[in-house]
Amino acid sequence: MEPLTPAVFHILLSLVDGEKHGYGIMQEVATRTGKTLIMGPGTLYGTLKRMLEAGLVEESGERPDPALDDQRRRYYRLTRQGRQAAVAEAERLEALVRAARAKSLLRRPQRA
Amino acid sequence: MSLSERIYRLLLKAYPERYRRQYEAPMAQLFSDQLQAADTRRKLAALWLRTLADLLRTLPARHAEASPHIVLGIGNVGRFRYTPWSTPARRAVFFAAYEARASAAGLSPPKTCFSEFFVKTPRFKSWPVGRKRWWGCGGRLKLAN
């Protein structure tokens, strides 16, 4: 499997906890990256479009109470394929980090 | 609806129609959510900078996806089939290119030629293939002097 782009991996990670709408995904990514990656609407929905086509995510038909939520919002959730892709990417990154540690590029995590 | 939202909705019209049908509403919603969070002028300015950069980055990609048969480039003008811009923008670009090429060659296209250009090629989809018609607008261009 080819490495995922950072945007795709971040979106997959955001959806691991459950379905979210675009702004929810954007906020979680911004928080996780310390606001170094703030996805604009074009990037977010362009990436989601490609992910929908690739079967990594799907639109959720369930919506919260319409009175509490704007009808224009769309909710997305992970598919099984999306979860597998996220796991594969996380393992790939973990292997890379292990390799970096083996070369003393990174400190080993301290045990509590 | 705030001025920023109105401007952003206008900018969204630059995306391909099919893409807009699917994502215009959620994109506008996302922008308006971000707008609500931008409670200071500085944050608003940062939001606009990010949004404009995002537009510039994503527009070409969405258009390339929408029309994979695009043939663009200086040498390919004659084989032009579709541009990613709206019709008025296409007209403007082609009008300017036409004028530039004509003046570079010392030619002055007559006004009738330009009106014909607009009338006959309202969407540029059937713009004739071939250098002769491109240059000559049907072979009726005149020398400047």
- In the predicted structure, residue A70 carries a pLDDT above the cut 70: no
**Structural domain harbouring A31:** 6-102
Distance from CA of A24 to the nearest CA of B (A): 9
Tens-place pLDDT, residues B12-24: 999 999 999 999 9
Query: What percentage of chain A reaches a pLDDT higher than 90?
Result: 71
**Separation of alpha carbons A10 and A56, rounded Å:** 13
Cβ pair A45:B28 closer than 8 A: no
- Nearest CB among B22, B31, B61 relative to A41 is that of B31
Query: Which pLDDT does position B41 carry in this prediction?
Result: 92
Longest dimension (CA), chain B: 62
How many CB atoms within 10 Å of residue B105? Answer: 12
Least Cα distance to A8 among A71, A68, A52, A72 occurs for A52
**Number of folded domains that form chain A:** 1
Residue of higher predicted confidence among B84 and B8: B8
In sequence order, what DSSP letters do the residues of A38-96 get, joined into one string? ---HHHHHHHHHHHHHHTSEEE------TTTS-TT--EEEE-HHHHHHHHHHHHHHHHH
Query: Which pLDDT does position B143 carry in this prediction?
Result: 41
Tens-place pLDDT, residues B84-141: 445 555 555 665 666 666 666 665 554 444 444 444 444 444 444 444 444 444 444 4
Alpha carbon B18 to its chain centroid, in Å, reads 16
Whether the CB of A57 is below 8 Å from some CB of chain B: the reply is no
Distance from CA of B141 to the nearest CA of A (A): 44
Residue of higher predicted confidence among B106 and A97: A97
pTM comes to: 0.66
Query: Which pLDDT does position A60 carry in this prediction?
Result: 86
CATH code of A44's domain: 1.10.10.10
Whether the CB of A66 is below 8 Å from some CB of chain B: the reply is no
Answer whether residue A58 is part of any domain.
yes
Query: Which pLDDT does position A22 carry in this prediction?
Result: 92
Residue of higher predicted confidence among A99 and B130: A99
Cβ pair A23:B62 closer than 8 A: no
CB B55 within 8 A of CB B28: no
Tens-place pLDDT, residues A26-38: 999 999 999 899 9
CB A29 within 8 A of CB A11: yes
ipTM at complex level: 0.81
Query: Which pLDDT does position A51 carry in this prediction?
Result: 95
Tens-place pLDDT, residues B23-66: 999 999 999 999 999 889 999 999 999 999 999 999 998 888 87
How many CB atoms within 10 Å of residue A20? Answer: 19
